[in-house]
């Protein structure tokens, strides 16, 4: 029923760890840049040889350098995880998490997987929520480790399936928020068109958008500030990051 879209699953807590290989950073360095730096023996290898620390510091900001220095090309590097807790709004997730799950405990209400396809291989109808839950600021082809807990469904949907059962908001099938239960629905749509139009307007001003190291982080701040100024709140950082990443790539 989840696969067919007849039930919309939610989780009250989630931890999605995001990681990628060091070689993704190295392959982004043009060969002509590499040739300008010495290639001492080391662990960070490209097709041209070992990459020097000076080259890394020339091409990446300090946060990235500290993540990758001293690692080999196949070593993993962690990106910022995507997480939420019972103190936040429950997250609706796509059916793909169930399709590719390594383990599902329906009674305990948790799901676990470490075997999701790459982003460019995801079926859109299964992972309609990819921009929110499977985003990475650092990697084009990240790997994900997923642990979701507190599985729940919309009260109205469960009532339709079990018309003879008397359900309460304390049922394990639905969620209770504080002292007042609330029926779940798909989260309100953020006005991304207006937010991105604002960023385009900034790009056309004399100063343009930020460039160079730290540009993406600053663009993320600009997007978040726009939402906060108008609504008092902002989308999840993973949603903002996915769009800021596309903006930075389009500027390259």
Contact 135, 245 (CB under 8 A): yes
Answer yes or no: is pLDDT of 110 > 90: yes
Q: What is the mean pLDDT of residues 59-83?
A: 85
Total residue count of the chain as it appears in this document: 252
- 83: enclosing H helix or E strand: strand 82-84
**In the chain, count of helices (H) and strands (E)?**
10, 9
Contact 71, 22 (CB under 8 A): yes
Q: What band does 136 get if pLDDT is binned at 50, 70 and 90?
A: confident
Q: What pLDDT does 226 receive?
A: 93
Q: Cβ atoms within 10 A of the Cβ of 140, count?
A: 14
Local structure of residue 35 (DSSP, 8 states): T
Instruction: State the pTM of this model.
Output: 0.63
Residue spans per domain, the chain: 10-20+79-161, 23-74, 192-251
Answer yes or no: is pLDDT of 147 > 90: yes
pLDDT digits (tens, 9 = 90+) for 54-67: 888 888 888 888 88
Which whole-number Å values give the CA distances from 219 to 40, 67, 109, 163, 165, in the listed order? 36, 22, 37, 49, 50
Beta strands in 34-79 (DSSP E): 45-46, 49-50, 76-78
Considering 22-26, 93-97, 181-185, the range whose residues carry the highest mean pLDDT is: 93-97
């Amino acid at each position: 029923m989840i696969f067919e879209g007849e039930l919309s699953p939610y989780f009250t807590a989630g931890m999605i760890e995001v990681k990628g290989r060091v070689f993704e950073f190295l392959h982004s360095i043009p060969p002509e840049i590499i040739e300008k730096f010495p290639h001492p023996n080391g662990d960070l290898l490209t097709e041209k040889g070992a990459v020097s620390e000076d080259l890394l510091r020339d091409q990446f900001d300090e946060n990235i350098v500290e993540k990758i220095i001293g690692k080999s090309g196949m070593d993993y590097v962690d990106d910022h995880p995507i997480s939420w807790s019972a103190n936040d709004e429950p997250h609706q997730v796509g059916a793909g998490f169930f399709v590719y799950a390594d383990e599902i405990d329906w009674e305990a209400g948790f799901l676990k997987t470490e075997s999701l396809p790459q982003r460019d291989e995801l079926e859109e109808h299964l992972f309609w929520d990819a921009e929110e839950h499977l985003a990475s600021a650092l990697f084009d082809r990240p790997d994900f480790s997923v642990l979701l807990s507190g599985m729940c469904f919309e009260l109205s949907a469960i009532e339709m399936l079990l018309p003879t059962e008397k359900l309460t908001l304390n049922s394990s099938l639905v969620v209770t928020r504080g002292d007042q239960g609330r029926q779940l629905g798909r989260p309100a749509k953020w006005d991304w068109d207006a937010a991105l139009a604002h960023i385009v307007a900034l790009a056309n001003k004399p100063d343009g958008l930020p460039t160079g190291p730290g540009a993406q982080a600053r663009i993320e701040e600009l997007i978040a500030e726009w939402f906060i100024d108008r609504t008092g709140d902002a989308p999840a950082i993973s949603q903002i990051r996915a769009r800021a990443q596309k903006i930075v790539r389009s500027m390259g």
